[in-house]
């Protein structure tokens, strides 16, 4: 692979690239050359990478590169929480554009120990408060399967970068679906770990543990090996390190005959598009051919669960901005935000502590209902999304706060319940519709059961491989 061709580079997952480095077939600098060439080749059409820092990446290769499992593999950070010392974490938000954290977040330190070469940041919605990846600073991020369509939220730039071949794996996080949603619409693999599995960047308890950190990848084995490299106790964290580990060893293991609950009824009543239902039905046929038992089952959720989630998240948005004021050293005003975002923050400021605690108690009831599913079933299967990848113009540019959340439920109702209960959940790219667009399916398991999901995902990856699917816009 010397003088790396982009087609050769794109044909390897992160594990494969690290093996090439270990065999002396390619150097980390040459892989970085390929990744930067990939950015140059497609980012003009996709708008997924919002910052690169080549000089810092070359310095890291020269001075700090260790012998972790992904030694020398190019890697991107989502431009939201994972601070890289000396580089801005912009969050698609003008006031943050010039703020440079002094030190790496704990998660970034662990990424570096794993051997990846971090060279840039990927796009996010402004403050991750939109349901598609767009911001005033960076504009709209386009889907490589059809650039007129959404990249999802909020790890959209990461999903696009992986799908288009710029990198084989990159950082994402998930507070209500933000790993799984863009994985679904971009046709990549995305697993949200259990609450507390990975250190949360930069603070130790973002959204009371609902927001979790990991990666999006093209292969199952990359996701598992990176979770091995990053999980574990972190003293700065409130929710910490559920039992389990050695996830890479689960890849390729027989999952056994699983009992799988199947649902295409969206939580809180949103209609589900026929393509998304068909994707689940096709997946059920595949699972049954592999010997698994699939049974219809809908989780009976508390009627006030969604309103409790809205209350909780609005209060968290307001809390996040109160903490931002400390970083910026000034009060934030309406001039700092799009009108809808300011309305949401102000709504959060009006919620009392008692109302937040009541909402949290009701979310505990949601968590109990979701977790009880795994007393009867090993795995829960549903669509990842209620609709196929939507056109950009389907996302309203301005709406009321009520309309904003109604749109959420029409688009991504299936994912947030597993943030609430803390289960691992994954979107698996098994199905493409007649228009050639990826339709992800979601699997969830009991808290701390990532190993079971990795066993099942690797079985599905062999039975219905997605490795060689390439979107119309890709680096080679």
User: Among the options 123, 135, 154, 217, which is catalytic?
Assistant: 154
For residue 372 the two structure tokens come to 């009880």
> Is 78 assigned a catalytic role?
yes
Q: Locate the DSSP E strands across 250-389.
A: 259-262, 293-296, 379-383
In a domain, 52, yes or no: yes
360 within some domain: yes
- At residue 431, the 3 state secondary structure works out as strand
Question: Domain range spanning residue 345?
Answer: 6-463
Token output for 275: 């393509």
Cβ 105 vs Cβ 60: under 8 Å: no
Domain assignment present for residue 329? The answer is yes
Q: Does the active-site annotation cover 178?
A: yes
Residue 362 within any structural domain of the chain: yes
Contacts of 251 (CB under 8 A, 6+ apart): 220, 221, 224, 454, 455, 458
| pLDDT for the residue numbered 1 | 47
Q: Which two tokens stand for residue 82?
A: 């994972």
Q: Is 464 a catalytic residue?
A: no
Question: Is residue 357 domain-resident?
Answer: yes
Q: What residues contact 433, with CB distance under 8 A and at least 6 apart? A: 275, 278, 279, 388, 439
Say if residues 167 and 75 touch (Cβ distance below 8 Å).
yes
All residues at 6 or more sequence positions from 138 whose CB lies less than 8 Å from its CB, including other chains: 47, 50, 92, 123
Q: How far is CA 314 from CA 188, 238, 309, 319, in A?
A: 30, 21, 9, 9
Whether 415 and 383 have beta carbons less than 8 Å apart is answered as no
Provide the pLDDT for residue 433: 98
pLDDT at 214: 98
User: What is the per-residue pLDDT for 309?
Assistant: 97
Is residue 469 included in any domain, yes or no? no
From 155, 178, 217, 423, the catalytic residue = 178
Please tell me the predicted confidence (pLDDT) of residue 187: 98
Is residue 354 in a domain?
yes
| CA 79 from centroid of its chain's CA atoms | 12
Structural domains of the chain, count: 1
Q: Is residue 471 part of a domain?
A: no
Mean pLDDT by 10 residues, the chain (476 residues): 83 98 97 98 98 98 96 98 95 93 95 98 97 97 98 98 98 98 98 95 77 97 98 85 91 98 95 98 98 98 97 95 94 96 97 97 98 98 98 92 94 98 98 98 98 98 97 97
**Distance between CA atoms of residues 308 and 304, nearest Å:** 6
* Identified catalytic residue from 78, 112, 121, 192: 78
Q: Which domain CATH number covers 214?
A: 3.90.1300.10
């Amino acid at each position: 692979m010397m003088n790396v061709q982009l087609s050769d580079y794109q044909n390897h997952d992160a594990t494969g690239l690290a093996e090439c480095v270990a065999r002396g077939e390619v150097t980390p600098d040459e892989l970085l050359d390929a990744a930067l060439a990939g950015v140059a080749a497609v980012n003009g059409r996709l708008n997924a990478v919002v910052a690169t820092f080549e000089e810092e990446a070359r310095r890291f290769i020269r001075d700090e590169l260790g012998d972790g499992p992904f030694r020398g593999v190019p890697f991107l950070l989502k431009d939201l929480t994972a601070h890289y010392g000396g580089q801005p974490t912009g969050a698609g938000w003008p006031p943050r554009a010039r703020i440079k954290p002094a030190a790496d977040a704990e998660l970034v330190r662990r990424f570096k120990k794993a051997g990846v070469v971090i060279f840039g940041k990927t796009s996010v919605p402004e403050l991750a408060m939109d349901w598609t990846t767009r911001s005033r600073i960076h504009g709209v991020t386009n889907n490589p399967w059809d650039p007129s369509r959404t990249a999802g939220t909020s790890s959209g730039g990461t999903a696009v970068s992986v799908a288009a071949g710029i990198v084989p794996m990159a950082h994402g996080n998930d507070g209500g679906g933000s790993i799984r949603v863009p994985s679904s619409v971009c046709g990549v693999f995305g697993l949200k770990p259990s609450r507390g599995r990975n250190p949360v960047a930069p603070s130790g308890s973002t959204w009371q543990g609902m927001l979790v950190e990991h990666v999006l990848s093209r292969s199952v084995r990359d996701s598992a090996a990176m979770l091995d490299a990053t999980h574990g106790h972190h003293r700065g964290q409130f929710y910490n390190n559920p039992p389990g580990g050695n996830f890479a060893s689960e890849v390729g293991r027989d999952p056994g005959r699983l009992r799988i609950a199947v649902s295409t009824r969206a939580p809180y009543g949103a209609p589900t598009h026929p393509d998304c239902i068909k994707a689940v039905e096709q997946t059920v046929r595949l699972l049954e051919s592999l010997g698994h038992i699939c049974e219809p089952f809908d989780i009976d959720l508390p009627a006030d669960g969604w309103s409790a989630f809205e209350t909780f998240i609005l209060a968290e948005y307001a809390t996040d901005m109160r903490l931002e004021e400390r970083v910026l050293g000034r009060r934030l005003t309406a001039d700092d935000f799009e009108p809808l975002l300011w309305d949401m923050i102000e709504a959060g400021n009006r919620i009392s502590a008692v109302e937040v605690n009541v909402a949290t108690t009701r979310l505990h009831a949601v968590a109990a209902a979701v977790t009880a599913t795994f007393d009867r079933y090993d795995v829960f299967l549903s669509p990842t999304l209620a609709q196929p990848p939507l056109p950009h113009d389907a996302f309203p540019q301005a709406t009321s706060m009520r309309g904003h959340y109604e749109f959420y439920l029409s688009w991504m109702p299936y994912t947030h319940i597993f943030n609430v209960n803390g289960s691992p959940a994954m979107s698996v790219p098994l199905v493409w519709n007649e228009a050639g667009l990826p339709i992800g399916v979601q699997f969830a398991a009991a808290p701390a059961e990532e190993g079971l999901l990795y066993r099942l995902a690797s079985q599905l990856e062999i039975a219905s491989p997605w490795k060689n699917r390439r979107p119309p816009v890709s680096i080679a």
